[in-house]
Amino acid sequence: MTQEVYVYKKPEIYGQENGLYRQENIIEKLLVNKVEPLKIELSTFIRAARDGKPFPVTPAQGLSNVRVCEAISRSLAA
């Protein structure tokens, strides 16, 4: 991941001081690990297959994650 995430917030209340309009905006930079999740997942899978060790995520956990994502998608579409 090569991008940075910023959240821009505007205040609920605006003010006026000495006849001048005043507005303060807040820019918040989120701390995000700059790694590509798919790259990490694939390298973990290759390492597990090469070393004969189990993959850290079970098929049941993967299926559960897909169901959660589908439920979120459905709720956003409604």
Three-state secondary-structure class, residue 69: helix
- pTM here is 0.46
- Long-range contacts of range 16-21, CB-CB < 8 Å, 24 or more positions apart? none
Q: What is the pLDDT of residue 78?
A: 80
pLDDT tens for each residue of the chain, 78 residues long: 567 888 888 877 777 778 787 777 888 988 877 788 889 989 999 999 999 999 999 999 999 999 999 999 999 998
- Per-position DSSP letters for 5-21, written without gaps between them: EEEEE--S--EEETTEE
Q: What is the pLDDT of residue 61?
A: 94
Q: What is the pLDDT of residue 1?
A: 55
